[in-house]
Structure formats: C-alpha cells, structure tokens
Structure 1
C-alpha cells in the first residue's frame, strides 16, 4: 500500500505564536504515526513559487494522512496556526509503481 504525505508551504508571520501550533501538532502527529521527511530546511524555487518554509510529513497511507488532518486534535492545532502563518497544505498519495531504470 502506498504511503500518504502532507506537503505544506508556510510563511510564518508571528514566530512566537507559531510555537504554540508546533507544540499542539505534536499530539496528533504522534497519534497517527507522522514522520517528518522535510521540516523547513533551505529550499530553492527552481520553477514557480515557494513559501519560506516547506514541510513534508509521511504517514503509513493516505487514509491515515487524511484522518490526522481531520482529527479534533489537529483541528485544534490549526486554530493556533491560522493567526500566526499563511500556508498551503496538500495531502497526496505516494507512488509504488515502476521507476526509471526498472527492468
């Protein structure tokens, strides 16, 4: 089964308030087995636009990724994030098919 991912791009307007969101999102992320693959490191926009912070979070499958986002615990965290930042979040299903070079 393919994994599920959150891909988020965020501009943080109030870093102190954003810390409350980070503390609150730890609860649902633990509950749903989230694993950070990218967490705000340096990013280079080679095409299109990018926000100041890019985050990629892996879940065991797309259903779990959706359940985490829709959980009451994460919805409470969102309430802390909305006044501290502007962003985009996409939930996407991973790909388990053939890869370049597969024979």
Structure 2
C-alpha cells in the first residue's frame, strides 16, 4: 500500500541553500520510488485557516518512505531545509482504492468500551 511523506512547512527562506536542496531532492527520491504529488501549490481554504506550504511525496510503501528519509543521500541535503524553514514532517499510509469512510469504524472502540 502506498505511503506518504507529508510536510507542512512555514517560513521557507528561498535562498541559495533551499535552491541547492531543491536541485538535489529528486535524485534522492528515485531509488525509493518516491514522487511528488503536491509541492507547495496554493491552497483554497474552504474551512478554517491555512498558512505555509504543503508537500506530499508518494512512495510504494512505508518501508520505502522510511528508507528514503534515512538514506545518506537525503541526510546530506536535509540540513539545507532544516536550517531554512520550520514545520512538521511525517509519514502515513494510504488507504485501498475501495476504501469507504465507514471502514474506520471497525478500528474504533465499541459504545461499551471507554475511549483512551
């Protein structure tokens, strides 16, 4: 199942270091089957508020995503981003193509079980 590396970045200083990071990241993704799905495109806010940039990178599975993030090639350029932006980055799995909203109900406690 596909997995996603998601970054919500703020205060990106688009200077020489970020340019170097952007020039290098594609080569770090290729060996792990990673590809950009979103990369800082403007969002249209329908509810709530939003600031920053959203980046979503798809991988074939969680193991590939972890291996990319831990790879020497990515670790070499990572400080360029960390020193020139702030934000949150995390991994999450996708859902099958036939996923329905009610599928998550089986993972929730029943009404007779307390939450937490």
Question: Which category of TM-score, normalised to the shorter sequence, fits these structures?
Answer: 0.7 to 0.9
- The 10-residue stretch of structure 1 (67-76 or 7-16) with the greater mean CA deviation from structure 2: 7-16
Provide the secondary structure at the position in 2 that maps to 1:95.
coil
Whether 1:62 aligns to 2:50 is no
Q: Summarize the Cα distance change of 1:67–1:15 in structure 2 as closer, same or farther, 3 Å threshold.
A: same
Q: How does 1:73-84 map to 2 (within 5 A)?
A: 73-84=73-84
Residue in 2 that maps onto 1:24: 24
Q: Which has the higher strand share?
A: 1
Structure 1: where are the runs of 5+ without partners? none
Q: With the length of structure 1 as denominator, give the TM-score of the two structures.
A: 0.83
Residue in 2 that maps onto 1:9: 8
Runs of 4+ in structure 1 deviating by more than 6 angstroms, as ranges, are: none
Provide the secondary structure at the position in 1 that maps to 2:100.
coil
Provide the secondary structure at the position in 1 that maps to 2:5.
strand
Whether 1:90 aligns to 2:83 is no
Query: Per-residue deviation at 1:45?
Result: 7.0
Contact 1:9 1:50 in 2 (8 A): no
Residue in 1 that maps onto 2:47: 46
Aligned residues: 99
Q: Summarize the Cα distance change of 1:11–1:45 in structure 2 as closer, same or farther, 3 Å threshold.
A: farther
Provide the secondary structure at the position in 2 that maps to 1:92.
strand
Instruction: Specify the structure having the higher radius of gyration (Cα).
Output: 2
Query: Per-residue deviation at 1:42?
Result: 1.0
